[in-house]
Structure 1
Amino acid sequence: MNSHYPKNGRVILHVDMNSFYASVEMASDPTLRGKPLAIAGNPQERRGIIVTCSYEARGFGVKTTMPLWEAKKLCPDLVIMTPNFDRYRAASKGIFDILRQYTELVEPVSIDEGYLDITDSFEKGTPLQIASDIQAQIKGQLDLPCSIGVAPNKFLAKTASDMKKPMGITVLRKRDIPNKLWPLPVIEMHGIGQKTAEKLNSIGIHTCSDLAHANDIQLKSLLGINGLRLKERANGTDRRNVDPESIYDYKSVGNSTTLPKDTTNQQELLIVVEELCAKVSSRLQQKDVLGTTIQLMIRDKFRKTITRSKKVANPIYKKEDLYHQAKDLFLKHWDGDPVRLLGVTAQDVVEKSEATEQLDLFSYKKVAEKEPLYNVLSKLHDKFGKDSISQGIKAKNKKKSYDQKQDTSFNKDFLRE
């Protein structure tokens, strides 16, 4: 069986669930099968947006992020359901439990997709046999469809899994790149969004082949170091390892909300900002992290979006501190146009245990007053351990099993709301 595996390289799978939320609902209620189904937030309100939809709904032109009114216009018989996050989390756990039966090297990247490094799993079969077995097992046990990419690295595996949906298995080798990847428009390449594609188009880069052969200096000038990284990807190079521990890394914690109607009332908008700060604060505390940069996002009725951020002197997590910074950003940068969406994000987060307070002219007295308390805490830590007592934010339980940790920090944040 070793002959099917490379001597020096890796074999990576990317498992991508097909129309995940809709598929979970169909597995739960078989009467939904074959019907155009959409999962949407707040179906009774104007702000309802399609989160995902079945392939039957897509046949009518319904798409993710489409407003509900537009989706209903395209498909009058559209069945609309609100998200059931507990059900989706349970299904996701079942999926990753299955994946870990094939290798310990499983890296979840979202609730419905993940990478596997099966290089050392040759006793379970050839790469294609393993991919086929995984697909059949997920379908048989959970009644959920998925597509799988098989490749020598994460980028190519992700690209391959997108090529055949639903229920596809695609192998993408480096020698396949000129025929399968290079003819594609750059916007279709994983890691390139609309804005980046427009920038690349502006210098004559329209296809993945153009990007693969682009001038390094020109790319770096346009996109910085990311330009060179994208060129490497277009040539099939990706040095990232499959990292099971990456699900515990968070760089930011944020919340956003679409308003029921376009709003210009400053007081109402600030109330929304304060509510968002309360949610961000709660999640920061759950994760035992603090934010060092606060970002505010404002989107107007024309979908024009601005984001503004500011670095704070000391890492913060309390609602009132977050709101003070976010309110300041809002008052400075809101131009008075009707607002459709607001978002608040704590960025560049740090572990509470690693955060160091930067004493300044205004805070050093308060900190000095707490010095006796700090001394007592230090003695308790020395006697009973660092995690025996903590201030403000709950202490972490470092003895949690892998599955318990997964339930609390899965996806670096997602579906918590």
Structure 2
Amino acid sequence: MGIGLEVGTLSRIILHVDMNSFYASVEQAYNPELKDKPIAIAGDPKQRRGIIVTSSYEARAKGIYTTMNVGEALRKCPGLILLPPDFPKYRLASKAMFSILREYTDLVEPVSIDEGYMDISAKSKERHPIEIAKEIQLRIQNELDLPCSIGVAPNKFLAKTASDMKKPMGITILRKRDVPSILWPLPVIEMHGIGESTAKKLQTIKINTIGDLAQSNEGLLKEALGKNGIRLRERANGIDFREVDPDSIYETKSVGNSTTLPFDETDIDKLTDTFQMLSAKVAERLEVKKLCGSTVSIQIRDADWHNSSRSKTLQNDIYLKDDIFEEAIKLFHKGWDGSPIRLLGVTVSNVRDRKNSAQQLSFDNYEKFAKQEPIYELIDEIEKKFGKGLIQKGIEIDKKTTYASKTSFSKDFLEDLKE
């Protein structure tokens, strides 16, 4: 069929299904009176944190875009219909969409609430991949009243790139042999996986287009970006051997939270309070998932929308709010120059199950662990007699999940798909 990439004796056919203007489309599906009207999902319009989360294509045609201030959006489009986010509704629609995808293959990998990969290599021996893609698109449209775009390619990178090429309701094939003519002429910032910071670093070594990246010197690239530079060079050449992994929904790599401040803030007390609030939310989500992590990162966006981040990897894993706050505020004081701040974020990454976390002893924590040692010895003795897992530490007893703990929809919606 000319689409697949030879990997051993197998030819892979990967689909990337990307829902179009998902939150806005779900609102229009629930309320047909909103169809063909400019609508936008936003926070509290009375505060500056009321920024546009997403908007319908009718609103986009009038110049409305994600992250635009609500006030600016209303000035640009006086007839704009603003709606608050209805996350339970979006999660329900997401679950229904992924249920349809799983009717075609077990190899479905959700990557966010509104997009996922499918490996239909086995099915494509029975039916043409485009026929399958069209059927999926029509079913999602007819059964859920939601539009989507689908990329068809021999690997995940090209499938993701293809799904972005035609929106809404597009189906695009991107073969590896098409990469030089279609992707290479584009600015490097347009390549999936490259943000502003990486693009600027690439420009310093005279890499301006995707073609420049594809044909760049490997040593120079590794010096500028490390291993990530080599990976990006492979992508620019259409190479991506990653498998579609359904089990990835069980892996959490980081837990974070961010907030847009009501005003461009310089008051250190208010900024400190914000870090305390964010650290508490991150700790709550770690508690619900029984996770801990060794790396703390902060995100700062200033009044001019410039983003910066700092991180620190610790000797021992942490999960308590006071520990997270202590590291986050240290990072902040180390990097803040006093300029007004618009957004702050805190993330704990390199996370793992607390039961698998090993603590390294130091002069600071030796006494704490020495006191616990007799308890561990007693547990070992009991488990030798009666079996492993009979006794659990109190922290491992499941707590009822609260709605407050589910604040990151790019991650937490995955809980719905594990049922």
* AA aligned opposite 1:359: L
What whole-Å deviation, never above 9, does each CA across 1:162-214 have from its counterpart, x for those lacking one? 11111111111122222222222222111111222223233332222222222
Aligned counterpart in structure 2 of residue 173 of structure 1, from 172, 175, 195: 175
- CA 1:410–1:45: 2 relative to 1, 3 Å: closer
User: Which of 84, 87, 91 is equivalent to 1:85?
Assistant: 87
State how far apart, in whole Å, the 2-side matches of 1:309 and 1:213 are: 32
Sequence identity percentage:
55
2:132 is aligned with 1:98: no
Once structures 1 and 2 are overlaid, which stretch shifts more, 302-311 or 258-267? 302-311
- The match for 1:131 is 133
Distance of 1:394 and 1:104 partners within structure 2: 32
Q: 2:393 aligns with which of 390, 397, 404?
A: 390
- Native 8 Å contact 2:265 2:271 kept in 1: yes
Which residue does the alignment assign to 2:44?
A: 42
Distance 1:122 1:299 in 2: 46
Cα distance, 1:413 vs structure 2: 4.1
Equivalent residue, structure 1, for 2:114: 112
Structure 2 counterpart of 1:12: 14
**Structure 2: how far apart are the matches of 1:105 and 1:180?**
28
CA shift, 1:112, in A, is 0.5
Cα 1:3–1:178 shift into 2, 3 Å: closer
Which runs of no fewer than 5 residues in structure 2 stay unpaired? 401-405
Given that 2:282 and 2:348 are in contact with CA atoms closer than 8 Å, whether structure 1 keeps it comes out as: yes
Q: Which of 295-304 and 263-272 deviates more?
A: 295-304
Residue by residue over 1:125-165, the C-alpha shift from the partner in whole angstroms, topping out at 9 and shown as x without a partner, is: 21111101110111111110000011111111111111111
Q: Partners of 1:46 and 1:17 in 2: how far apart?
A: 28
Q: Contact 1:40 / 1:81 at 8 angstroms: preserved in 2? A: yes
Q: Given that residues 285 and 393 in structure 1 are in contact (C-alpha distance below 8 angstroms), is that contact kept between their aligned partners in structure 2? A: no
Query: Could you tell me how far apart the structure 2 residues matched to 1:331 and 1:164 are?
Result: 44
Q: Are 2:185 and 1:186 aligned? A: no
Residue 23 and residue 380 in structure 1: after superposition, are their counterparts in 2 closer, same or farther (change >3 A)? farther
2:288·2:399 contact (CA, 8 Å) conserved in 1?
no
Cα distance per residue 1:245-268 (max 9 Å; x no partner): 112222211111111112222222
- Note if contact 1:247-1:411 (Cα within 8 Å) is conserved in structure 2: no
Once the 2 structures are TM-superposed, how far is the Cα of residue 79 of structure 1 from its aligned partner?
0.8
What amino acid is the match of 1:321?
Answer: D
Alignment deviations for residues 232-280 of structure 1 (CA, whole Å, 9 cap, x no partner): 1111111111111112222211111111112222222211111111100
CA offsets per residue over residues 358-399 of structure 1, 9 Å max, x none? Answer: 1111221222222232233334555254275234244599xx
Structure 1 residue aligned with 2:267: 265
2:403 maps to none
Question: How many angstroms does 1:42 deviate by?
Answer: 2.0
Q: 1:327 to 1:222 in 2, by over 3 A?
A: closer
Q: Which moved more, 1:76-85 or 1:246-255?
A: 246-255
Instruction: Provide the rounded CA distance (Å) in 1 between the counterparts of 2:358 and 2:253.
Output: 17
Q: Name the counterpart of 1:373.
A: 375
- Secondary structure, counterpart of 1:150 in structure 2: strand
Question: Normalized against structure 2, the TM-score is what?
Answer: 0.90
Deviates more, 1:199-208 or 1:223-232: 199-208
Shift of residue 107, structure 1, vs aligned partner: 0.5
Offset of residue 335 of structure 1? 3.1
Q: Secondary structure at the match of 2:339?
A: coil
Does structure 2 retain, via aligned residues, the 8 Å contact 1:108–1:411?
A: no
Say if 2:232 is the partner of 1:230: yes
RMSD, aligned α-carbons: 2.5
Q: Which residue of 1 aligns with 2:277?
A: 275
**3-state SS of 1:9 partner:** strand
Q: State the SS of the aligned residue for 1:386.
A: coil
Equivalence for 2:60: 58
Deviations 1:295-318 (A, max 9, x none): 223333233333222333321111
Structure 1 residues 255 and 415: alpha-carbon distance in aligned structure 2, compared to 1, 3 A threshold: farther
The answer as to whether partners of 2:379 and 2:391 remain within 8 angstroms in 1 is no
Which range moves more in the overlay, 56-65 or 122-131?
122-131
How far off its partner does 1:328 sit? 2.9
Residue 312 of structure 1 aligns with an amino acid whose one-letter code is: L
* Structure 2 Cα separation of the partners of residues 146 and 308 of structure 1: 36
Q: Structure 1: give runs of 5+ residues left out of the alignment.
A: 398-406
Matched residue, 2:332: 330
Tell me, in whole angstroms, the C-alpha distance in 2 between the residues paired with 1:375 and 1:262.
Answer: 54
Counterpart code for 1:392: I
Distance 1:223 1:333, change over 3 A: closer
Between the aligned partners of 2:206 and 2:3, the Cα distance in structure 1 is: 40
CA distance in structure 1 between the aligned counterparts of 2:89 and 2:49, rounded to whole angstroms = 23
Task: Give 2:392's aligned amino acid.
Answer: I
Whether the 8 Å CA contact 1:262–1:340 is kept in 2: the answer is yes
Aligned match for 2:351, one of 343, 346, 349:
349
Match of 1:300 among 299, 302, 307: 302
Could you tell me how far apart the structure 1 residues matched to 2:113 and 2:125 are?
Answer: 28
Inter-partner Cα distance in structure 2 for 1:312 and 1:234: 34
Taking the TM superposition and a 5 Å limit, the aligned residue runs for 1:180-259 are 180-259=182-261
Aligned to 1:161: 163
SS in 2 for 1:350: strand
Q: Which amino acid aligns with 1:129?
A: E
State whether structure 2 residue 415 is matched by structure 1 residue 412.
no
Q: What amino acid sits opposite 2:411 in the alignment?
A: K
CA contact (8 A) 1:252 1:345 kept: yes
DSSP-derived class of the 1:101 partner: coil
Residue aligning to 1:290: 292
Letter in 1 for 2:101: L
Amino acid at match of 2:258: S
Aligned counterparts of 2:362 and 2:80: Cα–Cα separation in 1: 59
Give the partner amino acid of 2:99. Answer: D
Structure 2 counterpart of 1:84, one-letter code: D
What amino acid sits opposite 2:107 in the alignment? L
Q: Is the 8 A contact 1:124 1:130 kept in 2?
A: no
Residue matched to 1:401 = none
- Of 70, 73, 80, 2:72 maps to 70
